[in-house]
Amino acid sequence: MSKILVVTVGSRGDVQPYVALAKGLQDAGHEVILATCGRFAPFVSEHGVPFAPLSDDILLLLDSDEGRSTLDEASGIVGLVKTNIRLVGEAKRINEKLMHDVWQVAEPFAPDLVIYHPKAMAGPHVAEKLGAATVLGLVVPVSVPTGEFPMVGLPALPWGAWYNRFTYKLVEVGYAQYDKIVNRFRRETLGLPEKKGAALTTTLPDGRPIPVIHGISEHVLPRPADWPAHAHETGYWFLDAPDTWSPPAELEEFLAAGDPPVYVGFGSMAGRDPKRITQAVVGALEQSGVRGIIATGWGGMETEELPDSILRITEAPHDWIFPRVAAVVHHGGAGTTAAGLRAGRPTVVCPFIIDQFFWGRVVAASGAGSTPVPQKKVTAERLAAAIRQVVTDDGIRSTAEDIGRRIRDEDGVAAAVEQIEGILARV
């Protein structure tokens, strides 16, 4: 069997699917190391996957007041440009350190294959140096241009395929500002020649395209007809809670005490004003006449005094709690969106940044949820209207249940492992 290095960088949503993929590869007999930010060591190790730490600096930046404020503006093309300008200097320093961290892990391990997240820029270059195969693993469709929808984070405009394809060129422009540091890493650390478009390289050393595997369900986002043969969709890479997890007694008692509640949770998202968001959520649950569970997560929603009809929790595994609620209200992260749809639950997306707007549109277009309610426009009245719609509209509820059945019939990890083993067999 093969030695496989999986490299990802970012928040919990950028890590969890790759842990699931790593476990699937382990179960198939491969030797796997997952390298990601050191903060996630306990989480990765809990699932029995060998872990190698990378710098936490990117998370520290995003957790800072400056980072939160800047990300709060990252909606629409103007917001994305502002965000890029503000953070690019610090981001270059962070990415240089991350590239060296990846090399420190990869060189002694000597993998046969490197699977990497696009934020882990060192991935394809380290693979080239070691003569390893390369796979770009994605849970958001940000790499392969298509005329069917624009680049994630950019607006969906009625200008047709030419506009959608053009938006992917803008990403190349954004990544180009990192070409210099990536080429310095290639030259000084790896002893490789410089490469055009190094920060967002899409080709192997022999000129063939890097295979791209998307952990996305075709029942949620049908594979674009104009994607090339090297781009694949496998189904979602779900990581269920360990068998050792059990719910707090308070949560079990609340669920048993009445009708299924509506779940509200925004993960690590809170925006500039968590108190405003919390007040809107509580007001919306009360106005819509439903019971609610508010998961405060890591974003800092402030829930001091709540009515008896609303329970506060910190978090609970999505695969456990979502099947037990009437609907889910969340920020639209790729993993949370997938988990809600797998449970067959109607969805309200309140996007904060970038890809969350994309998933909000996708959910609404699928018929499994309401029109998105962006967090900047969240009021108790608007959110209450969306909640009432998804819990009372038979069409939305039926569609959500149907999509859930289809997703549950998939095994995205097994399909991804099959694709990866096929790539290894051709090397």
Instruction: Looking at the structure, tell me whether residues 141 and 265 fall in a common domain.
Output: no
Nearest of 331, 306, 304, 307 to residue 318 by alpha carbon: 331
Number of domains the chain is built from: 2
Say whether both 289 and 369 belong to one domain: yes
**Residue 399, CA distances (Å) to 324, 369, 394 in order:** 18, 9, 8
Residue 209 and residue 259 in one domain: no
Question: According to the model, what pLDDT value does residue 82 have?
Answer: 52
Token pair recorded at residue 45 = 């190790």
- 68 pLDDT more than 80: no
- Asked whether residue 415 falls in the same domain as residue 321, the answer is no
Spatial strand order of the sheet with 31-37 comes to 51-54, 31-37, 3-7, 113-116, 133-138, 212-214, 231-233
Res. 373: pLDDT tops 60? yes
Q: Indicate whether 43 and 146 sit together in one domain.
A: yes
Over the stretch 119-159, which tens digit does the pLDDT of each residue have? 999 999 999 999 999 999 999 999 999 999 999 988 899 99
Task: Judge if 272 and 391 occupy the same domain.
Answer: yes
pLDDT digits (tens, 9 = 90+) for 329-353: 999 999 999 999 999 999 999 998 8
Structural domain includes residue 286: yes
Where residue 78 falls among pLDDT bands split at 50, 70, 90? Answer: very low
Please, which residues have CB within 8 angstroms of residue 358's CB and are 6 or more apart in sequence? 140, 149, 152, 153, 332
Could you tell me the CA-to-CA distances from 116 to 67, 162, 178, 206, 216 in Å, in that order?
24, 29, 17, 19, 16
**Pair (213, 301) in one structural domain:** no
Residues 53 and 140 in one domain: yes
* Residue 130 falls inside a structural domain: yes
Which domain does 276 fall in, by range? 249-409
* Domain match, 282 and 190 both: no
In a domain, 367, yes or no: yes
In a domain, 241, yes or no: no
Q: Within a domain: residue 243?
A: no
Q: Please tell me the predicted confidence (pLDDT) of residue 59.
A: 82
Residues 331 and 318 in one domain: yes
Q: CATH no. for residue 94?
A: 3.40.50.2000
Q: What is the pLDDT of residues 6-57, one digit of tens each?
A: 999 988 889 999 999 999 999 999 999 999 999 999 999 999 999 999 999 8
* Distance in Å from the first CA to the final CA of the chain: 14
Assess whether 287 and 416 both reside in one domain. no
Query: Over 70: is that where the pLDDT of 67 sits?
Result: no
Work out the number of other CB atoms within 10 angstroms of the CB of residue 41.
13
pTM confidence score: 0.92
**275 and 380 both lie in a single domain:** yes
- Token pair in block for residue 222: 């049908």
CB 3 within 8 A of CB 110: yes
- Residue 100 and residue 420: Cα distance in Å, rounded? 26
